[in-house]
Structure 1
Amino acid sequence: MLVPHRLDRADEAASVRGRRPKQAKLVQRPALCALVEAKPALCWSPDRIAGWLRRRLPGDTAMQISHEAIYPSLCDPRRRQVIDRSLTQRRRSARPLRRPKIARRPTRRGIIRGMVSITARPAEVEDRKVPGHWEGDLVMGTKPSAVATLVERASHCTTIVALPDGIKAEQVTPLLTGSLLGIPPHQPRTLTWDRGREIAEHQAITTGTRMPIYLCKPRSPWQRGTNENTNRLLRQYLPKGADLRTFSQADLDAVAHELNHRPRKTHGYRTPAEIYADLLNSSDALTA
């Protein structure tokens, strides 16, 4: 049983700890603040910054901070300015405040002839241990502008394909085929796509690339979740209100390069480019 005077000291200590407002950790540590502030300019999220610090400076508690401690300094206008709040424009959502996500309404899709369902896809695709399995879809701008995105499931390495002529199947097929043919010969294995009409000539793509294409179930974007997540990241560069026909292939290659060189939490804060290079090297070793 605690004696009364010890209880008084404990209450007093708790009261001191609970006093508000508290000085932000980034105010107390200018060196950490400078390091954190440099990363949003590269389109890094608070979670990505916190993970990178843990990997880059392990054991240095003075240079560690949680993503939840970064968000208030960056996004809360009631806080005293610690980080330049104009950097919120470099966030994926470009919003100055954090807001809950809104579920998208499902869209109607037409029937595609000769399609192969995702249920027929090889079992090896699921565990992400075998490289060369890709997911793809369109990212829409102002209608009818769009680009096609291809994401490798194991590394999350991304390719963006310009579609300057439109999004009909006959316009998408040759450009998508050309992009898939640019993948190293021993890499392409499968492609998983949504049931959009742009993929109606999937059999011609398979003939040209020898890559079987599997289509998701209706209203099931989660079945190509790697691509869905990547497309959300791309909205930071390709906003919904933009005419995506104004982006050249060189512009899109630069966006993909930047995205592929951003560390990912799922890879222990390594980059997709690093993971993809390792996969290519291991595949080369197996085929040698």
Structure 2
Amino acid sequence: MVRWKGHEGVSQIARELHRDKSTISREIRRNGWQGPAGRRYRASTAQRKADRRRLRCRRPRLMDEPERRSLVVRLMRDEHWSPEEISGRISEERPDLAVSDSAIYRAVESGSLDCELPGHRKAARLLRHHGKRRHRKGSQERRGKVRITHDISERPEEASSRSRTGDWEGDTVAGGQGGACLVTQVDRMSGYLVGGKAARKAHAEVNEATERALEGEAVHTVTLDRGKEFSDAEGLQEALGAPVYFCHPHHPWERGTNENTNGLLRDWFPKGESLDDVSDSEVQEVYDSLNRRPRKRLKWKCPWEVYHHQSLHLL
């Protein structure tokens, strides 16, 4: 058929291709064209015509709808929301544009969305612990000892059950070696994030940033890990007027809300990159963005809404 230019008979072509001659005639009639010297046919042209017809006849995909597509792309690219977060929040606030997370994932995997996901986080997600070294059973801590004010086992049930706001989990997010770091305090019930930049990852600077972040907020308890930057927990406890509890060694899941939030912060502040030139306003803008990010455990409300008992229009 590739050689057919109106000079070879349909019967001859059918014999060579082991097809019925009516099939050959139908193909030429449907995908050929009328030239000055008669009917013409080219395989590449016929394939393009067939591809166009296939696109027209398939059922439209949800992600082909312009408004839905534009919204999903914006939330992924600008707000760093996951497909599940996007799907959950849209179903709550814009049910007319509802789309499943599976449909979004398919669109991403097919390359049909006009956005690029943050590559530094995508690669890390392949590892369960994001490439962090795990302590072997029986290994000893060599970083120095932190004086424990209260063990997490002493923490009141209201804090452990997330039944109220004002129970905070704290940590730091390191920048370049020896430079500035981020202080993060996350409310256990709502996931609401406060904090800011500290000039050094040292107890004086970290305490100051923590006190500044929690000023004016309800503080019933604070739960920290055993990092040396929290070695002055007694001073922090006195300044806040609330008890400070410490997790068990190598038990980051005991302050899992904070751990998850710090992982999300790495979308904007990759591990190892200096924070010295990042302004306070830039840090606050990122914190605000995370506080407006819907969470599955909050039934697709965002931390700001749960913490402040108000609704926002995010879409």
Taking structure 1 as the reference length, the TM-score comes to: 0.77
Structure 1 residues not aligned, in runs of 5+: 1-21, 280-288
**How far off its partner does 1:170 sit?**
2.8
Cα separation, partners in 2 of 1:197 and 1:257, compared to 1, 3 Å: same
**How far off its partner does 1:128 sit?**
1.0
Cα separation, partners in 2 of 1:66 and 1:27, compared to 1, 3 Å: closer
Cα deviation, 1:213-233, whole Å, max 9, x if unaligned, reads 000000000000000010011
Instruction: Give the SS at the match of 2:113.
Output: coil
Q: 1:83 aligns with which of 103, 108, 113?
A: 113
Instruction: Give the SS at the match of 1:223.
Output: helix
Which structure carries more relative contact order (alpha carbon 8 Å, separation 6+)? Answer: 1
Question: 1:5 maps to which residue?
Answer: none
Whether 2:184 is the aligned partner of 1:156: answer no
Whether 2:211 is the aligned partner of 1:183: answer no
Q: How many residues align?
A: 244
Question: 1:29 maps to which residue?
Answer: 65
Distance 1:123 1:133 in 2: 11
Cα separation, partners in 2 of 1:131 and 1:248, compared to 1, 3 Å: same
Distance 2:249 2:266 in 1: 23
Cα separation, partners in 2 of 1:224 and 1:92, compared to 1, 3 Å: farther
Q: 1:110 aligns with which of 144, 149, 156?
A: 144
Structural mapping, 1:91-106, within 5 Å? 93=121, 99-102=126-129, 104-106=132-134
Structural mapping, 1:36-47, within 5 Å? 36-41=72-77, 42-47=79-84
Distance 2:193 2:281 in 1: 14
Cα separation, partners in 2 of 1:98 and 1:225, compared to 1, 3 Å: closer
Counterpart contact for 2:196–2:213, Cα < 8 Å: yes
Instruction: Give the SS at the match of 1:105.
Output: coil
Question: 1:192 maps to which residue?
Answer: 223
State the one-letter code of the partner of 2:249: P
Structure 2 residues not aligned, in runs of 5+: 1-57, 136-140, 311-315
Cα deviation, 1:50-88, whole Å, max 9, x if unaligned, reads 111211244x5xx332212212322x2xx2x421142x1
Question: 2:161 maps to which residue?
Answer: 127
Cα separation, partners in 2 of 1:149 and 1:133, compared to 1, 3 Å: same
State the one-letter code of the partner of 2:128: K
Distance 2:64 2:283 in 1: 40
Taking structure 2 as the reference length, the TM-score comes to: 0.70
State the one-letter code of the partner of 1:93: R
| RMSD (CA atoms) | 2.4
Cα deviation, 1:148-181, whole Å, max 9, x if unaligned, reads 10001111110132111x112233223322322x
**How far off its partner does 1:141 sit?**
1.7
Instruction: Give the SS at the match of 1:245.
Output: coil
Larger Rg: 2
Cα separation, partners in 2 of 1:64 and 1:100, compared to 1, 3 Å: farther
Question: 2:26 maps to which residue?
Answer: none
Percent of paired sites with the same residue: 32
Cα deviation, 1:96-139, whole Å, max 9, x if unaligned, reads x9734345224644321243211111111111112100001011
**How far off its partner does 1:246 sit?**
1.8
Question: 1:9 maps to which residue?
Answer: none
Distance 1:126 1:110 in 2: 28
State the one-letter code of the partner of 1:82: S
Counterpart contact for 2:73–2:114, Cα < 8 Å: yes
State the one-letter code of the partner of 2:205: Q
Distance 1:31 1:170 in 2: 50
Question: 1:204 maps to which residue?
Answer: 235
Question: 1:274 maps to which residue?
Answer: 305
Question: 1:50 maps to which residue?
Answer: 87
Counterpart contact for 1:135–1:150, Cα < 8 Å: yes
Distance 1:243 1:44 in 2: 24
Distance 1:55 1:213 in 2: 37
Distance 1:151 1:137 in 2: 9
Question: 1:65 maps to which residue?
Answer: 99
Question: 1:18 maps to which residue?
Answer: none
Counterpart contact for 1:43–1:92, Cα < 8 Å: no
Distance 1:55 1:114 in 2: 44
Distance 1:266 1:172 in 2: 29
State the one-letter code of the partner of 2:114: D
